[in-house]
Amino acid sequence: MARGGVPMRIALYADRPASYGGIETHMATLAKELVLLGHQVRLCFPRIVQTELFADAVQHGAVLEAADPERLRQLASRDRIDVLHAHSFRASLAAGEIMRRTGVPAVVTLHSPGQRLPGPGRAAALIAVSGEISDILARQGLAHARIENGVDLRRFHPDPAPKPRSKPRLRLVYLGRVSPAKVEGLRELHRAVAFRRDVELRYVSDWAPDGKARPATAVEDQLRRADAVLATGRGVREAMACGCAALVLGSYWDGPVTPENVDRLEWFNFSGRESRQRPTAERMAPAIRELAQNPRRLLELKAFGARLAKARWDAREMARRTLAVYQEACSAPPRAAAAGSRGLANT
Burial class (CB in 10 A: 0-12, 13-18, 19+), 191: middle
Per-residue b or e along 66-104, where b marks 16 or more CB atoms closer than 10 Å to that residue's CB: ebebeebbebbeeeebbbbbbbbbbbbbbbbbbbeebeb
CA distance 85 to 129: 14
Query: Which pTM was predicted?
Result: 0.92
Provide the pLDDT for residue 241.
99
Q: Which residues of the chain have pLDDT under 70?
A: 1-4, 166, 333-347
Q: What is the dihedral of CA 159, 164, 169, 170, to 10 degrees?
A: 10
Can you list the domains of the chain with their CATH numbers? 9-150+314-346 (3.40.50.2000), 170-312 (3.40.50.2000)
User: At what angle are helices 233-241 and 22-36 packed, to 10 degrees?
Assistant: 60
345: CB partners within 8 A, 6+ apart: 113, 114, 136
- Are 126 and 142 in contact by the 8 Å Cβ rule? The answer is yes
The β-bridge relationship of strands 228-231 and 245-249 is parallel
Phi, psi of 59 (to 5 degrees): -60, -30
Provide the pLDDT for residue 333.
63
- Are 109 and 83 in contact by the 8 Å Cβ rule? The answer is no
Nearest residue to 110 (alpha-carbon basis) of 132, 93, 133: 133
Provide the pLDDT for residue 97.
96
User: At what angle are helices 281-293 and 295-312 packed, to 10 degrees?
Assistant: 100
CA distance 74 to 98: 9
Provide the pLDDT for residue 4.
55
Cα–Cα–Cα angle for 246, 248, 253, rounded to 5 degrees: 145
Provide the pLDDT for residue 121.
83
Nearest residue to 251 (alpha-carbon basis) of 274, 234, 229, 228: 274
Helical (H) or strand (E) element with 302:
helix 295-312
- Strand ranges across the sheet with 253-256: 199-205, 170-176, 228-231, 245-249, 253-256
